[in-house]
Structure 1
């Protein structure tokens, strides 16, 4: 009898342990996200020039409770250990990576000759690593972008494939694109969430102040803005707010909860741009360029959802002119789909 009781206890422990392990394994700890941007997504007067296309893939791990617990390469840890991101065990931390590609074209896509009065053809291919720290409705981030501009970005080939799929015009002037050049950008973000208001048990609103600054031959700028949101899960997602549509990350990508969440968001942003290689041309070589407008502003809006392991996001942006003599409006959208595993 005692042997039977002992056997039952052992079986119970095994089953309980297996169930607990299964429950632990069920919680997603990684995420991946495909990003697609196109000016044809613009809500008002969609075009096929300016910032024409953008594609990317981003990925990361679940949030951790201390800087030392972040799983990252030793060289990134050494470079960020002394920075403001390292707050020890205060707050929560996350790291994400991305491969991003952008394509920029002038308004006249049918001309093979150099268009001296319009923006240059430019392609950019980037690798990004981004660290976040957040606590008590305040979030900061530090990101490094490394890559190349020019034919080595393979932007011409990617745009050809995309335009063939969506049945758009094939730009004829890529022979005039910027020359190959290594590019970098270091960027910092600060966000303060305030004005939270619960509308129901699951739905709330909030407002966030956002500021950022970046430095590099890719782009150097600084600016600030405000974002208004309404939806669910806002307490867990404020740290990833960004008022631009470009390379938008689904804020629900950082949540481990597999339930249903949604949000609508509206943003206004203004900044001062010191340099932008896609407009200023190559740094160390003679190339086509246009006169950059330093003061720039933009409005954006969109929605995001998360249902189980899947998430989707769509946002659209409308901005001021980026260079003197700009013909078409700054107007494009971004869509992404994410998966948690």
Structure 2
């Protein structure tokens, strides 16, 4: 069931969407804790599908920068565009001591502005994204985490005075996805498998890796281009279809990669700060369910990952939920 090539001359109905994201390790399925990647909140929005590259509404500086890249395929295939503002909090295991926990990861808060463009056709999707933001007190992560922990009745971390110093961060990321197998099971119900590869570079985080994603559900041929093997960081895949009926999917994924640098573990680039020894080889498995009914969508996922640094005791384990509105 291959996708059909669509050009700008054909009638393409573009959908818009808005999405709220919440992730927390206290909701992890296996050994839930309150450390590591402790909490994340975000607001995302975008449009999909878009008929041609020229129709993508980007700021002029981004349009100029991306014109010469592989993402610009003119009228070939379709495109998606998404933005997000994301805030993430990282903490050590011992949240009760105000002293520096030297053998555990640093307190770190991150605030990012994120933009992603994707071009897809014939079961192949290519993505290009940019993160710009700040790590440190300017991220306001300490205040956000204290508020959220008060709402969910979790411990209030006492060591934020040892968090990383303010530093501007960036990351450029390239993605490639190939939907290499798909099978119809019943009317409207299908299963598929996709290969995912990505590479990123920046002082925020640099890595290269690949994974596999397996899905079961409806509307898979229209939603493969936005799937991701990690948690609910990405948009609800049903944002790009115009069907206002009920659609659903379940997925399971596995991902492995080599991480060259991670500022939340390595510490500040130009200042002395607390740091730990990064584990370069990392992997994770994730599973979840996505659905859409009318204008509303829901994406629920859980992720289990390997250790991120030498001496890490609990495994990486968190769950995420995102609620989206489509128009």
Q: Is structure 2 residue 126 aligned with structure 1 residue 140?
A: yes
Q: Is structure 2 residue 240 aligned with structure 1 residue 251?
A: no
Cα distance in 1 for residues equivalent to 2:222 and 2:155: 42
Ranges of 4+ aligned residues in structure 1 off by more than 4 Å: none
Please tell me whether the aligned partners of residues 300 and 317 of structure 1 are also in contact (alpha carbons under 8 angstroms).
Answer: yes
The answer for the alignment partner of 2:6 in structure 1 is none
In the TM superposition, what are the counterparts of 1:84-163 in structure 2 within 5 Å? Answer: 84-163=70-149
Cα distance in 2 for residues equivalent to 1:325 and 1:70: 46
Q: Is structure 2 residue 221 aligned with structure 1 residue 242?
A: no
Cα distance in 2 for residues equivalent to 1:70 and 1:28: 11
Question: Of 272, 276, 297, which residue of structure 1 is paired with 2:283?
Answer: 297
- Structure with bigger helix share is 1
The answer for the alignment partner of 2:313 in structure 1 is 327
Cα distance in 2 for residues equivalent to 1:185 and 1:62: 23
Please tell me whether the aligned partners of residues 21 and 232 of structure 2 are also in contact (alpha carbons under 8 angstroms).
Answer: no
Task: Give 3-state SS (helix, strand or coil) of 1:62's partner.
Answer: strand
Task: Give 3-state SS (helix, strand or coil) of 2:150's partner.
Answer: helix
Please tell me whether the aligned partners of residues 231 and 263 of structure 1 are also in contact (alpha carbons under 8 angstroms).
Answer: yes
In the TM superposition, what are the counterparts of 1:143-222 in structure 2 within 5 Å? Answer: 143-222=129-208
Cα distance in 1 for residues equivalent to 2:129 and 2:192: 25
Q: CA offsets, 1:133-162, max 9 Å, x none? A: 000000000001000000000000000110
Cα distance in 2 for residues equivalent to 1:152 and 1:279: 18
Please tell me whether the aligned partners of residues 232 and 322 of structure 2 are also in contact (alpha carbons under 8 angstroms).
Answer: no
Q: Is structure 2 residue 33 aligned with structure 1 residue 33?
A: no
- 1:28 Cα deviation after fit: 7.2
- 1:194 Cα deviation after fit: 1.5
The answer for the alignment partner of 1:67 in structure 2 is 53
Please tell me whether the aligned partners of residues 126 and 147 of structure 1 are also in contact (alpha carbons under 8 angstroms).
Answer: yes
- 1:249 Cα deviation after fit: 2.0
Q: CA RMSD in A?
A: 1.1
Cα distance in 2 for residues equivalent to 1:246 and 1:46: 17
Q: CA offsets, 1:59-93, max 9 Å, x none? A: 01231111011112111110101000001100001
Cα distance in 1 for residues equivalent to 2:67 and 2:270: 33
Aligned pairs, number: 316
- TM-score, normalization by structure 2: 0.95
Cα distance in 2 for residues equivalent to 1:28 and 1:340: 11
Cα distance in 2 for residues equivalent to 1:287 and 1:256: 49
Q: Could you say which structure has the larger radius of gyration?
A: 1
Cα distance in 2 for residues equivalent to 1:246 and 1:200: 28
Cα distance in 2 for residues equivalent to 1:205 and 1:313: 18
Question: Of 9, 27, 30, which residue of structure 2 is paired with 1:44?
Answer: 30
Gaps of 5+ in 1: 1-23
Cα distance in 2 for residues equivalent to 1:70 and 1:106: 41
Task: Give 3-state SS (helix, strand or coil) of 1:152's partner.
Answer: helix
Please tell me whether the aligned partners of residues 248 and 334 of structure 1 are also in contact (alpha carbons under 8 angstroms).
Answer: no
Cα distance in 1 for residues equivalent to 2:238 and 2:15: 13
Q: Is structure 2 residue 50 aligned with structure 1 residue 79?
A: no
- TM-score, normalization by structure 1: 0.91
Cα distance in 2 for residues equivalent to 1:158 and 1:128: 19
- 1:109 Cα deviation after fit: 0.2
Cα distance in 2 for residues equivalent to 1:248 and 1:79: 23
The answer for the alignment partner of 1:16 in structure 2 is none
